[in-house]
Structure 1
Amino acid sequence: MDGTGTGRLGLDPRVVERARRLAARAAEPIIEMARTHTTVSVERALLRLAGLSGADPAGRPWVNHLVDAVRAQVGIEHGVALPVWDALTAGPHPGLRELAEAASRGEARFRLPAGPDAERAREAARRAARAGIDRIDARRAERDRLLRDVGDPPHPWIYLIVATGDIYEDIPQAVAAAREGADVVAVIRSTGQSLLDYVPEGPTREGYAGTYATQDNFRLMRAALDDVSAELGRYVRLTNYASGLCMPEIAALAGLERLDMMLNDCMYGIVFRDINPRRTFIDQRFSRQIHARAGIVINTGEDNYLTTADAVDAAHTVIVSQLLNERFAHEAGLADGLIGLGHAFEIDPALPESFRLELAHAQLVRELFPHAPLKYMPPTRHMGGDVFAGYLLDAFFNLAGVLTGQSIILIGMMTEGIHTPWLSDRDLALANVRYVRDACGGLAEDFAPRPGGLVVERARRVLGESVELLERICDDGLLTAIGAGTFGVTRRPPDGGKGLDGVAERADGYFNPAGEILDAEPGAVASVPPAASAASAASEQEVPA
């Protein structure tokens, strides 16, 4: 290095630029695969945007019945739009719901229309898809108005989870958390929902270690948080999870119900839920296009790698995944202000200099992605039964977050290593982060790592290791790297896992009017302010975006 590095860490801009070029190269075959394939969930998402909702008495959604029927008769490689709207324009069914009901009874017939029939079906499908996109646009405009009228809290946003399994219990807990200082409320999903190839319907009260993600649950929680936002004079954001086998559908529902953030990582479902890699990457592109249109901040899941791999040895895999996530997000139309890249405070506290190493990693991420609303996750792997040590460790995490200008801080719970935290534990956690944030004030302005010191050298080393790994991925392919256990240690082969049977290569003439609109009209500028902070300001204009 020639001493002309940028930011507080003195990163070499040429190395940063090379890392991004390599990430783009590594991502390109995956992007091409996503552009040339479809899945049952992508096709079901189109039907949801067109207004089809509800389920049969057994709970099977009508979108599943309709897509399954089309798939059985003509396949989905041409998309379901032409067969479905051909049946609507030519048949006796007055709407999508009636057609789906007939399909569930085996009474609907589908074909691939041609000539004038195909054109009539195509125009009808476009009108239906446009109506759904217009509804998402209206909800985004609603958020923009509320942010102006109610007020937007400054960074870092305090992020808190509720997850009782019962939406009617979640709501009062979420409202109480907002009153105690939470800026973002996340309703964690019921265990195993990501493995369901359908989205449950209606308000639910029977989740396990979480609450089912449904359109009605989204609507109920959004209304409650809007009420408390007006009471508090600051907009409280709502988060859920767009991952798993129904990623595109849940993204569509989130856009329709004005959620603000969605967990949406390019590899989390592959590594930690054994969902087929091809299915995941195809679904995530369409879901991110929806998020871009809706102005929804995505949260990525790199923090999870450090629960299975060593946080020091695997630090570079976090950076590589973040660079890949950034590239996939940009290609899908997401602006930097909507790309909430994840990382975590997971180094073993018994390791000498552990806090300095954590600062190096956190500052490196901040300087690599100066405009991204970074989501920083608290210690979990090394939290045990000593609640006093846990509370202290969470305070160090909060200090690292404030000192390095993180954008979203998920509060740590001192008892999470023992049991599901109580409400009193949540109050203590909120008090912890409030104290650190208020006591530190603008301390980030004074954080200047010594050139040649441990923090600077550690950050440069991790960046160098990231470049080396990206070079190998470019040579071998990202699917091969995932199969070899590069991320989170777990090996996931390209043709293994759940959901591959729901993937189809697009045929000539494939038609999805929602995808057509989203490709032609990518997401506009984010309604969320960029993640400017004292710790990142020095590098914002110098590190390539």
Structure 2
Amino acid sequence: MKLGLDPAVVRKARDLAARAAEPVIEMARTHTTVSVERAVLRLAGVTGADADGIPWVNRIVDAVRDQVGLEHGVALPFFAAGNWRSLKFGLPTGAERDRALARAREAVGAGIARIDRNRADRDRLLARHGDPEKPWIYLIVATGDIHEDIPQAQAAAREGADVIAVIRSTGQSLLDYVPEGATRQGYAGTYATQENFRLMRAALDEVSGELGRYVRLTNYASGLCMPEIAALAGLERLDMMLNDCMYGIIFRDINPRRTFVDQRFSRQIHARAGIVINTGEDNYLTTADAIDAAHTVVASQLLNERFGHEAGLADRQLGLGHAFEINPQIPDSFRLELAHAQLVRELFPAAPLKYMPPTKHMTGNIFAGYLLDAFFNLAGVMTGQSIILVGMMTEGIHTPWLSDRDLALENVRYVRRAAGDLSEDFTPGPFIRERAARVLSETVDLLHRVADDGLLDAIADGVFGVTKRPADRGRGLDGVVEKADGYVNPATEILEAAP
């Protein structure tokens, strides 16, 4: 540890984060959502859509909610139905309930067993092909057409990318269903579907064998279908998932209660699947000042750590996010960036941190942008970041050209090669140490407030990312249901069982 952080202050910050998180964890334990219940059906093997293109899992959950209510879960009514395509459901009792429960546990157990096999397959492929050195180079490939994404993703891997991120089509986080099949029409991204996951995973396995290193695949398990997409990711062996409900709350106006409930279940799936989550704290700095709001990033990271641990995620799965977003015109901006990055690195030494490139202050001057990305890459190497998202010199102006991507990969490759193990030689001076201590102190003060007032109230007050999101508003609130006595979810039974 290079910053000389006070261990007592660090412990206090974690204690406050745990206290602030506990009421939200309890709410998530005692509630379910339509998407959680749809995820149970997906784990049980329910696939496909009706003639109108509506996924069967949506039709089933909606019918159960209308006819029986979801407070007991979807599993018992579904597995008690003789012909579920009739969409006629009741709540079984007695021996009928016992039979339905046994069938539900068997079907959902088979889905989770498939996730377990995929995790074992990943370990086997990592042993065969090898794991790239850190920091991993993380590159976005998402044209809207999965069949165009595949050759671009393979080409990016050949140019040095270690992680391929297929970001979702604009607006998919607001869809309360997951489209079926391979898709060829998406805007500023490609739809997250099970078939698209399968196709890209197969393509990256192919190029992994060619290159002799395992190439990871990531997508987004956020939005109104967070639990379902998490389940599909486990079923198709994705390696990373953006998984942070705060992003959906703040930037997509998804109801806070809905997303915290969805987040807990989705993270339980990720924990079982061995998936590394990526959190979205970097997004706060696109709307808030990166200096004034630095402590909100750290506070959110500590909250995300607590939520992740409670859901079963190990430290090695906590890809906590932060970003290089200080205005480059400010004196000592690079030193401030180093202070923030080193602070996060030391607070979470075992976490595979995801470091995001500058976007907010990219002006369209491609030469200045290329230089700023190089400084970002250097900061990542100097402070031992784990995952570096490749910055594009035309970031924020248009969807980058392939030539921009090649130049960006060349930039990060050069810095990583030239700097080597510079993190071993980097010794922060008084300026960086004092700045880090100040941010940590401000983090403690904020977590005191959040623990006293409540996290949901803090979100409503705009503490994170400036935007205010009340707990009784936002998309998806009508999909939240309080569990009744006798609620059944075979997936959580398995996921929460003692190892």
Sort the TM-score into its range (normalised by shorter chain): over 0.9
Paired letter, 1:456: R
CA distance in structure 2 between the aligned counterparts of 1:271 and 1:389, rounded to whole angstroms: 30
1:13-162 alignment runs, 5 A limit: 13-87=7-81, 91=82, 93=83, 99=84, 101-103=85-87, 108=88, 110-162=89-141
CA distance in structure 1 between the aligned counterparts of 2:421 and 2:448, rounded to whole angstroms: 39
Find the counterpart in structure 2 of residue 367 from structure 1.
346
2:369 aligned with 1:385, yes or no?
A: no
CA deviation map 1:163-204 (0-9, x unaligned): 100000100100000000000000010000000000000000
CA distance in structure 1 between the aligned counterparts of 2:498 and 2:208, rounded to whole angstroms: 31
Find the counterpart in structure 2 of residue 252 from structure 1.
231
Contact 1:238 1:259 in 2 (8 A): yes
Contact 1:391 1:414 in 2 (8 A): yes
2:190 aligned with 1:196, yes or no?
A: no
Paired letter, 1:432: N
Following superposition, the deviation at residue 58 of structure 1 comes to 2.1
1:348-497 alignment runs, 5 A limit: 348-450=327-429, 453-497=430-474
CA distance in structure 2 between the aligned counterparts of 1:199 and 1:249, rounded to whole angstroms: 8
Find the counterpart in structure 2 of residue 292 from structure 1.
271
CA distance in structure 1 between the aligned counterparts of 2:401 and 2:7, rounded to whole angstroms: 46
Any gaps of 5 or more consecutive residues in structure 1? 1-6, 94-98, 523-545
Paired letter, 1:389: A
CA deviation map 1:48-83 (0-9, x unaligned): 000001111222100000111111000000101111
Paired letter, 1:25: R
Contact 2:223 2:245 in 1 (8 A): no
TM-score (norm 2): 0.99
TM-score (norm 1): 0.91
Q: 1:214 aligns with which of 180, 193, 211?
A: 193
Following superposition, the deviation at residue 120 of structure 1 comes to 1.0
1:306-385 alignment runs, 5 A limit: 306-385=285-364
CA distance in structure 1 between the aligned counterparts of 2:203 and 2:266, rounded to whole angstroms: 25
Superposed structure 1 runs of 4+ greater than 4 Å apart? none
SS at match of 1:393: helix
CA deviation map 1:462-508 (0-9, x unaligned): 00000000000111000000000000000000011000000000000
Does the C-alpha gap of structure 1 residues 251 and 521 become closer, same or farther in structure 2, counting only changes over 3 Å?
farther
Does the C-alpha gap of structure 1 residues 203 and 57 become closer, same or farther in structure 2, counting only changes over 3 Å?
same
Any gaps of 5 or more consecutive residues in structure 2? none
Paired letter, 2:403: S
CA distance in structure 1 between the aligned counterparts of 2:473 and 2:306, rounded to whole angstroms: 25
CA deviation map 1:354-409 (0-9, x unaligned): 00000000000000000000000000000011000000000000000000000000
Contact 1:266 1:325 in 2 (8 A): no
2:247 aligned with 1:268, yes or no?
A: yes
Of residues 260-269 and 359-368 in structure 1, the stretch that sits farther from structure 2 once superposed is 260-269
CA distance in structure 2 between the aligned counterparts of 1:315 and 1:426, rounded to whole angstroms: 29
Paired letter, 2:477: L
CA distance in structure 2 between the aligned counterparts of 1:59 and 1:193, rounded to whole angstroms: 16
CA distance in structure 2 between the aligned counterparts of 1:519 and 1:392, rounded to whole angstroms: 48
SS at match of 2:32: strand
Counting aligned pairs with the same residue, the percent is: 79
Paired letter, 1:482: I
CA distance in structure 1 between the aligned counterparts of 2:398 and 2:271, rounded to whole angstroms: 37
Following superposition, the deviation at residue 521 of structure 1 comes to 4.5
Contact 1:175 1:224 in 2 (8 A): yes
CA distance in structure 1 between the aligned counterparts of 2:179 and 2:169, rounded to whole angstroms: 11
Contact 2:460 2:470 in 1 (8 A): yes
SS at match of 1:160: strand
CA distance in structure 1 between the aligned counterparts of 2:36 and 2:302, rounded to whole angstroms: 25
Paired letter, 1:46: V
SS at match of 2:225: helix
CA distance in structure 1 between the aligned counterparts of 2:133 and 2:198, rounded to whole angstroms: 25
CA distance in structure 1 between the aligned counterparts of 2:395 and 2:227, rounded to whole angstroms: 31
Contact 1:341 1:372 in 2 (8 A): yes
Paired letter, 2:485: D
CA deviation map 1:10-51 (0-9, x unaligned): 000000000000000000000000000000000000000000
2:216 aligned with 1:232, yes or no?
A: no
Following superposition, the deviation at residue 134 of structure 1 comes to 0.2
CA distance in structure 2 between the aligned counterparts of 1:258 and 1:521, rounded to whole angstroms: 24
CA distance in structure 2 between the aligned counterparts of 1:329 and 1:266, rounded to whole angstroms: 12
Following superposition, the deviation at residue 266 of structure 1 comes to 3.2
Does the C-alpha gap of structure 1 residues 417 and 431 become closer, same or farther in structure 2, counting only changes over 3 Å?
same
Contact 2:50 2:56 in 1 (8 A): yes
CA distance in structure 2 between the aligned counterparts of 1:86 and 1:482, rounded to whole angstroms: 41
Following superposition, the deviation at residue 329 of structure 1 comes to 0.2
Report the number of matched residues.
499
Following superposition, the deviation at residue 418 of structure 1 comes to 2.0
Find the counterpart in structure 1 of residue 258 from structure 2.
279
SS at match of 1:11: coil
Paired letter, 2:256: P
Contact 1:54 1:201 in 2 (8 A): yes
Of residues 113-122 and 188-197 in structure 1, the stretch that sits farther from structure 2 once superposed is 113-122
CA distance in structure 2 between the aligned counterparts of 1:384 and 1:256, rounded to whole angstroms: 41
